[in-house]
Each structure stands twice: as C-alpha cells, then as structure tokens.
Structure 1
Amino acid sequence: MEDNHSLSRREWLGKVTVPAIAAGATLLAANANASPVAEEKEDHLQGAKIYNVRDFGAKGDGKTLNTKSIQAAIDQCYADKGGTVLIPAGDFLSGTLELKSNVTLHIAASGKLLGSPKREDYTAGKGVPSGNGNIVFLFAVNAHHLSIEGKGTIDGNGLAFYNGKGDNTGPGQNGVGGNFDRPHLAIFFQCSNLRMDDVFCTASAYHCFRILSCKHVHIDGVRIYNRVNRNNDGFHFNNSEYVHIINCDVQCQDDACALFGSNKFVTISNCSFSTRWSVFRFGGGESQNITVSNCLIYDTYGCPIKISAGRASIENLSFSNIIMRNVTGPIGIGFSGPSTGGNSNNASITKPFIRNISFNNIRASVIEKPIDHPDIHFGVTVREGEKNSCITLNAMGEYYLEDISFNDVHVKYAGGGTAEQPAKVIPKIAAEYFGVWDPLPGGPPAYGMYARNVKGLTLNNVRFEYDQPDKRPAIIFDHVQDASVNGLTAMGSPGNELLRFVNSQDILLSATKVLTTAATFLHVAGELSQNIIVNGGDLKKVKQQATFDLGASKESTMFS
C-alpha cells in the first residue's frame, strides 16, 4: 500500500466491529468443515414442541367429532421424537385415541377431552389383550415415557352407555350375560415410565384406568370421580411393577384401587378413597412388596381392604396410618388354596401362600350395613353377610394365613349382633368376606374379629368397641396356632363370652382389659385346644374366667 492509505494493525482492528469478526470466524469455521452436501439445519426444539390440537383442525365446541384431528397431533408429535400435545380451552369431543411414546398429553385447566356418546366412535385398543373390555377411549401399547398431565378434565361421557347392567363378574357370576360393550376410559399395556399428574378423570362408561403389565408408573395428584355406571373402578392394576401413587382422590362405584395378578414394588400414600365396594382389592398371582400408608377411606362398603385368593403367592404387604370412616367389613382376607379346575394339580407350581401382612395404626368406624351413596343414581342390593361385619381372616383346609399382625388398631362397630349368630355353624368356604357370612342371618359370629386357619397371629394394642349392645364375642379364633394378644381392650356382653377359641393352640393373652360386663372371659372348645396362657389383665367385669366344651379340657388353659 501507499503510505498515505496505509493503516497500522491497531487502527485496522479499531474500525472493524465485533459482530463482523465473529461472523467472519464462524464463516471460516463453517468453510473449513463444510462437506460437498450442505448439512440439514439442526432443530433445537426437537422433542420439546407443543402441538395444539386446534392447529390440526380440532374444534372445542363439544359437538364436532375430533378423533382424526387429535390423533393427527399425537402422531406428528410422536414422529418428531416427542413433545406435548395440547388440549386447550374448550370441550373436544373424540372417540378412541392411541397415545404413543415420548408424548405428553397436556389438558389445559379449562380444557376437556370428552368421550363420544356413540358406540360406533370407539374401537378396541390395538394390541391390548382380550378380556379387558373390547372398546376403549384412550390406550397405549408398548409405549415408553408417556405422560398425561394438566389441570383439565378427561370425561368419558359414561352415562350415555348406562343400561342398568354390570359386567356380572362378581362371585358366582362368571360374566354370564354381562355388559362389556362400553369403553374403559384408559388402558395401558406393557408401557414403561408412565406418568399421570393432576388431571381430573370422570364419568367412564366402565373402568377408569386399567394398567396392565406396566413398569415404572408414577401417579400424582390425580382426581377420579367415577359414579355414572356399574363397574366404575378407579385404578385397576394387573401384573405391574414399580408403581407409585401419591396425593390422589378417588370417588367411584366399584373397586377404587384393585391390584390383581402379580403386582410388585408398589407404594400408595397420602390418598383418599370412597366407593360402594372395595378400595384395595387383591386377587391371585404374586402380589408382593406393597405398602399403603397415610390414607383416608370413607363411605366405603364391601370391604376397604380385601384379599381373596386361591392359587397365589402373596407376601410382604403393609397397611399403616389409615383412617376408615363409615365402612363395612373393614379388613377381609380369604384363602382357599388351589382351585378345583385348571392347572391346580400341576406339581411344578409352588404351593400357594399368603403371609407377612401387617396392619399398623388403623382407626375405623364400622356401620351396621351398606347404604346407598346419594350421588350414585342406582341402588345396590345389600347382602346378608354385609350386615354387622367384622375383621375376617379366613383360610381353608390345609392352607393357613401366616404371620399376620395388627398393631395399634382401634375399631368402633355399630353393634346389634344377636346371641343366635355365634351359635351358627360357620360354613367352610373361602369366598369374599360377605360370601362367607351370607348363610348366617345377621352376619358373622363375632363383632370384632373372626380368624380361622392362621399361624403366627399378633394383636398388639387392639381396641374393639361398639355403639349399641352386641351379644357376640369380640374375637373368635378357629384353628389358630401361635398367637400373641397383648393389650387387647374390648367390650363384652352380659350373656356371652368375650373371647372364643376353637381348636387353637399356643396362644398367649396378656394385659387384657374388659370394658363392659361379660358372662365369661374365655370359652375354649375342641379337643385340639392346648397351651392357652392368660397372663394378667383387668378382668373384674367378667363373671367367670373360662368355660370348656366339645372335648376341650381345663388343662388346655392356664391363668396367671
């Protein structure tokens, strides 16, 4: 350069802007690494986009059928490696929808996903095993990292499918003539990392949620109000693992939280439940390593905690810090061993068992019989065995319940039982708790607890009371072995015994307190009764310590 046009290096840098330098550096870097074919621009929002269903043609007028539009949004979200499908403000009518991996279905607070009232708008869930109802509103199969969230509503429009009939799958019905042609609200099969948060789910035509063979399920803050049809379950789990339910509220007509089959590693806490039938219901399979804690159960009939099984491997269940208000049959465990059909004669199958179940810090008020819920528009027949119910532990034949414990349990019963009830012969059946007592007018023979075929039974700081006089024993042990009863407090009857032990062995009673007058503290029956020890307690309100019959000897029992 000529001297009059030349610039020093410092002067040249001062006249060039920083952005220009940066752009030049970027351009140089890009040119240095450029390939013959230009690279596709990177999408920094891949997997994080929002897919508003309105952008796919959906209308929130509550009249337009939006199935195709909403499904298109889900499919596009899935194709783009995930994101959020938004149901905005409005009522979006739809038929069957398939949810997919990496998709979050978000329902805005003023948004509603509304099920169609027409049968022809629903299909079966593709890939969902048969026997789970043949049609469904929402479903997912083999999906992972799937979520449903938001403060909005999923409404199944289930009243449109009410015809007065249930599915007839109750005791002895076997589904004959049942109504199965109605959609479940949602079915998930073989899904993993499934989440549900905050959403309000209501008015399913059948079950609300069926969660089948899923792993790593997290449900938080979900509210279910499901009382428009028969068989309106809340949560229904089959063969699922690593399930965690917290902060939920369930008001339904049928099982509120059924756990059938082989469910393992399940925690349920800080929830409230109300239903006509049962809350925590267990069937066969391998139900193991399950805890239920800090829950409220109210206005629930047909047994809040119900375990009814034949061939099963059920163990390590814990129920703690539970309040039950206005319930019947508060706890029922029935165990028959193998059924008479199917593969029950297969010697390779492990002998079934129910063992290691604990009930800790339970408070319950038990009413005389079920009453209709005012917000369920159809009544329910009350079974005879549901009246004057008690805690029932009932195993059959060679099978025993093992290691069952009750610690810090206080139950107040309605009372009103008669002297004739304990005199009835107890049927040797292992049905649902009310089925055992159906042949007995007025309910079970004890007002507090009836236990048959139990090994390793512990009652510690248990209190049984009633509101009106009850002429039944507080507790009956029938073929119970190895039991420890410490700190029992119970109300007695002037015309009957407080406790009755039938063919029971190795029983230790200590520090018993009798609250009201009883004719006899302990009645012992059966020639197999032996090694019954009564150690201390406040027995001033009993007229005599013990009576014996049916071959029981006085040497079987010792007071100290």
Structure 2
Amino acid sequence: METYDDNFSRRNWLKTVTKASAGAGIIAAAPALLHAQPANIQKADPLLGTRIYNIMDYGAKGDGVTLDTKALQAAIDACNKDQGGTVLVPAGVFVIGTVELKSNVTLHIAAQGKLLGSADGKQYYAAQAIPLTGDTTLNDGNVGLLFAVKADNIRVEGPGTIDGQGAQFRSPTKGAPSPAGISGNHRPYHLLFYQCQNVIVNDIFLKDCAYHSVRIIQSSYVKLDGIHIRGRVIHNNDGFHFISCQYVHMVNCDVQSQDDACALFGSCKFITITNCTFSTRWSVFRFGGGVAENITISNCIILEAYGCPIKMRCERHSRMENISFSNLVMHKVTGPISIGMGSVDDPGTARNISFNGIHANVVVPVQLADAEFTSNYHPGEIKSCIAINGAEGFLLENISFNDVHITFAGGGTAEDAAVRDVPKNAGEYYADGVFPAYGLYARYAQGLTLNNVRFEVATPELRPALVFDQVTDAAINGLNAQGNKDAESVLRLIDTQDVLLTATRVLSPAAVFMRVEGAASSNIKIDGGDISKAGVALSFAAGATKNAVKLRD
C-alpha cells in the first residue's frame, strides 16, 4: 500500500505548481505533480506479523538427543522482533530446557512434533520477574519449561505434544536426589504465565509434567480449549492453576492428574469452565484464599476422583461468592463436595454457592491404575459425604442443592454415627475420623436450601442421611433418603432453628425419621411427605422438646 507525507498538503502543492509553471506550462506540469511521491516514502511490508519461523531454520535438530533450546528461543526472539507471527515446531522430537515466550508469538507444534523437557535439571532457570513472596499463592516456584512474563497476545497450540519427562524429577526414595538433580519448587511447569493478557492455549497434549502442568498468575483474557493433560508420574502433578486471574474461559479439556486438576487460588473472578472431563487422586475444583467470585462450572464429567471433587477452603480474610456448579456427572468419586475453612482465626466469608443437576456415584477409593506409585486413604475418604462445615462466627450462607442424586458407598457404623464433636477445621478429607452423616453434614450454615435431592447407599449405613448442627433458615423440599431400621434416625437436627421440610420421603424401613437435639432447636416444621416407613416420626434428646417441631401429615 502506498503512503504519503502528511506535510505534502494542498498549499504546498500549489506553491510547487507556481514555481514549476510558466504561463500555459502549468497545464503540462500539473498531471506529473498529481502522481508525485515524496522521496522518503517506504513501502510497508505486507507480511509483517504473519511470517512462519521454522525452528529448523534456526539450527534445531529434532533428533530427540540434541539440545534445541537455543534454536527455539532464537526463532521466538526473531518472531517477536518482527512484530509477531508463528513459530513452527515441525515433526520431530526437540529436547529443550527453559524457553521464554514473548508478545505476539504463536507457538505451533505440528501433529508429529514434540517438545521434550530435558532430563537434566541444569537446563532450567527461574523467571526472576515472578516473585515468590508477598502473596502466599505465589510460593510454588517460578520455573517453567515455557514461560512468559508481562506479555500480550500469546498462543500455544497443537496438535503436537509437550512432554515434561516428570518421572525424572521424582526421587526414588524420600530425601534422595531425583534423576534430574532438582526437586521441590525448582521443578518446571509445562506452561507458566505471569501478568499476561490475551493468552490462548488450544488443541495440545501436555504430558508428564515435572510439577503443575499449566500455571497462570495474575493474568486476564485467557482462553483454554481442547487441552489434554495427563500427568500421574509425580505426587503433585496438578493440572491447571489459576492465581488471581480474571476473564478465564476453559472448554473441551481433558485432565488426568495426580493432584488438584483445576485449582483457583488468590482472587479469581469472571471464570467459566465447561464441557470438560477430569480425573485425579485428590481434588478437581480446588478453591482457596483471596476472593473467588462470579464463577460458573458446568457440563463436566468427573471420573475416578478419590479425595474431594469440589473442595472449597475459605482462608483468612478470604471470600467465596456467586459460584455456580451445574450439570456435573461424577462417577467413582469420594467426597464429593466439601466447603469449609482453612483457618480457625478470621476465616472469611462463603455465600451464594449453588449446586444444580449433580449426579454422583460415591465409592470406596482404590488405587488409580495408571499412577506410578501408591496412595494412602484417610478414613473420611472411605466413608465420605457432602460436608458444609462452618464455625461459630463463620456462617456459610445461601448454599443450595437442586436436582441432586447421589449414591454413597455406605459402611458407617454406630460409632461413626455417634460423633458429635466434629473438629472446627475438619479438613476436606477429615483425616482424624468420619463425618456423622452419610449424605450431608452441615454445621454453622444459614439459608441452606435442598430441592429434589435423593440420597441412597450401596451398603448398609448406620449414620443418618442428613445432620444439621447449628443451622438456621433452611428449606428442604423433595428430600428422598434411605434409612436403616438399626440406625438411630434418618435425619438429625442439633440446635437448629427455622427449618421447613416439605414432600420428604423415607425410602426404606427406619426406626426414627428425625431426631432433634439441643435446647436451642426451635421452629422446625414438617409439612406433608411420606415418612410411613419410619417406625417413629420424632425423637428428642439433649434438652430438645416437642415444642421445637410441628408435624403435619
């Protein structure tokens, strides 16, 4: 495209014409001047920002042996200098150490192309611009196989592979060095982004990371699509980590991890996660610290998650608010939902959290078949339930369950059911014991809602289906729960007020429908439903009186 000097104005043109013409000669001079260009005009490069930079042209070998770090970095630097374009990793196996991604660069890994993380720990270095102090969510290291700092418009795309050779970073025995020579927070992530904008990662296979696979810190406008993460070669093989990120959209991803599959730490806002599958030994959606708000998670399948698929920990001064989970299918999981606090001192706030369309099969955990080491399990994982565990002064507010159907493993004993003193900070796995309910345990909650909820057990269970402890303002409609004639009761309410139960059904023979405990229990109403399979409707203990409950058939 031709360009013109702005200084060549109509007035300058007229002056030029005046000097160049003499009488009638102006007629001949004018056409030439109309097509004239200033001497300093340079023609723009039509390919600027669109070129392809094949790393083979920069000296890469791709033979699976030669270290190609410098060649890849040189191609990225050239692409960035030319205002962007695409760096191509063609077919081949390219061994690399730490490489820095830069603004306006698309890294394309061809279908038969692989970036193979070096097994030599000396080939990795820390991104010094990423701090490790000041924010407790940043203290997990700052080393990336591929990293970017304060960069814009970055894309990493497949359909090729990034293989971190994570097994080389696992110590053979505790205290012994790993084959790679580095461990702990010195290990590299697959992808590490810090304070970046407009980041896209799509259609790529991230295999066997040495640490967490994708770690994104204080970044915004992030799109993650069609990523397959597989990492079960080291104990804390996490999938995605988002730390204080905004406007993140994740879709069509598949994660098989050993540790947290999708963690949201710090202040994460405006996040959507949909149409994904997850499997892990520990947690899938892990929340902790900061302010997590305005987040939706939908249309996902969770398969073999032994730990706690949805784990929300309200740390000191933190807040979790306006978070929606919907249309989730969980098959072979433990947990499956835990909301509680991570600190007993000033734990923060959790409110307006909804669970809609949740269908789960809760089982006794087993060893993941493809993990390269064994895991031990806590008692609370073996006999698990939904736990909504607040504390005095820390009320979990406005938590709702709608269209929820869960079959639990069962196996709870009379001793398990007798537990009254649940630790304030029981933790998501309750390592010291078992929650005294097989379906839902809720303590220090306000505005709790259950609608069309069904709890069943696969094996005999002597714990109640539901336990409320110091809960206020609860509405339960359409609860269907299995009982056991040898169990104390189907429901247990302790020092609980202002509860309405409608259309409740007991699915199997039980001794008592509801046991009410504590002198503070009051204004509990049971309106309609079918509790005929319970031998006795109500029982009272620990100071509770009949005046606490109104029963209408």
Output the amino acid matched with 1:327: V
Match in the other structure for 1:491:
482
1:469 and 2:460 are equivalent in the alignment: yes
Q: 1:135-534 to 2 correspondence within 5 Å?
A: 135-164=143-172, 179-311=184-316, 312-335=318-341, 340=345, 352-368=348-364, 370-435=365-430, 438-440=431-433, 443-495=434-486, 496-534=488-526
Match in the other structure for 2:105:
103
Output the amino acid matched with 2:432: P
Deviation at 1:178, TM superposition (A): 8.0
Task: State whether residues 475 and 499 of structure 2, in contact with CA within 8 Å, keep that contact through their aligned partners in structure 1.
Answer: yes
Normalization by structure 1: what TM-score?
0.88
Deviation at 1:165, TM superposition (A): 7.3
Output the amino acid matched with 2:257: C
Output the amino acid matched with 1:180: N
Deviation at 1:381, TM superposition (A): 1.2
SS in 2 for 1:386: helix
User: Residue 36 of structure 2 is aligned with which of 21, 33, 36?
Assistant: 33
SS in 1 for 2:404: strand
Using a 3 Å threshold, how does the CA distance of structure 1 residues 166 and 288 change in structure 2: closer, same or farther?
A: farther
Task: State whether residues 314 and 348 of structure 2, in contact with CA within 8 Å, keep that contact through their aligned partners in structure 1.
Answer: no
Task: State whether residues 130 and 142 of structure 2, in contact with CA within 8 Å, keep that contact through their aligned partners in structure 1.
Answer: no
Match in the other structure for 2:18:
none
1:92 and 2:94 are equivalent in the alignment: yes
Using a 3 Å threshold, how does the CA distance of structure 1 residues 70 and 31 change in structure 2: closer, same or farther?
A: farther
Distance in structure 2 (CA, Å) of the matches to 1:227 and 1:254: 8
Deviation at 1:40, TM superposition (A): 3.3
Task: State whether residues 154 and 200 of structure 1, in contact with CA within 8 Å, keep that contact through their aligned partners in structure 2.
Answer: yes
Q: 1:545-556 to 2 correspondence within 5 Å?
A: 545-556=537-548
Deviation at 1:161, TM superposition (A): 0.9
Match in the other structure for 1:60:
62
Using a 3 Å threshold, how does the CA distance of structure 1 residues 76 and 246 change in structure 2: closer, same or farther?
A: same
Task: State whether residues 144 and 193 of structure 1, in contact with CA within 8 Å, keep that contact through their aligned partners in structure 2.
Answer: yes
1:531-559 deviations in Å (ceiling 9; x for gaps): 00011111111000111111111100010
Using a 3 Å threshold, how does the CA distance of structure 1 residues 68 and 30 change in structure 2: closer, same or farther?
A: farther
Deviation at 1:126, TM superposition (A): 3.6
1:537 and 2:533 are equivalent in the alignment: no
Distance in structure 1 (CA, Å) of the matches to 2:507 and 2:459: 14
Using a 3 Å threshold, how does the CA distance of structure 1 residues 164 and 293 change in structure 2: closer, same or farther?
A: farther
Using a 3 Å threshold, how does the CA distance of structure 1 residues 278 and 329 change in structure 2: closer, same or farther?
A: same
Output the amino acid matched with 1:268: I
SS in 1 for 2:308: coil
Task: State whether residues 446 and 475 of structure 1, in contact with CA within 8 Å, keep that contact through their aligned partners in structure 2.
Answer: yes
Task: State whether residues 202 and 225 of structure 1, in contact with CA within 8 Å, keep that contact through their aligned partners in structure 2.
Answer: yes
1:511-532 deviations in Å (ceiling 9; x for gaps): 1111101100000000100000
1:153-177 deviations in Å (ceiling 9; x for gaps): 011111111115799xxxxxxxxx9
Structure 1 residue ranges (4+ consecutive) displaced by more than 4 angstroms after TM superposition = 28-31, 164-167
Using a 3 Å threshold, how does the CA distance of structure 1 residues 403 and 30 change in structure 2: closer, same or farther?
A: farther
**Structure 2 alignment gaps of length 5 or more:** 1-30, 133-138, 176-181
Of all paired residues, the percent bearing the same amino acid is 51
Deviation at 1:372, TM superposition (A): 1.1
Using a 3 Å threshold, how does the CA distance of structure 1 residues 230 and 166 change in structure 2: closer, same or farther?
A: farther
Q: How many residues align?
A: 508
Deviation at 1:134, TM superposition (A): 4.4
Output the amino acid matched with 1:34: Q
1:332-363 deviations in Å (ceiling 9; x for gaps): 00126x654xxx6xxxxxx9310000000000
Distance in structure 2 (CA, Å) of the matches to 1:239 and 1:399: 23
Distance in structure 1 (CA, Å) of the matches to 2:241 and 2:235: 15
Task: State whether residues 166 and 178 of structure 1, in contact with CA within 8 Å, keep that contact through their aligned partners in structure 2.
Answer: no
Deviation at 1:228, TM superposition (A): 1.1
Output the amino acid matched with 1:234: G
Deviation at 1:313, TM superposition (A): 1.2
Distance in structure 1 (CA, Å) of the matches to 2:121 and 2:295: 38
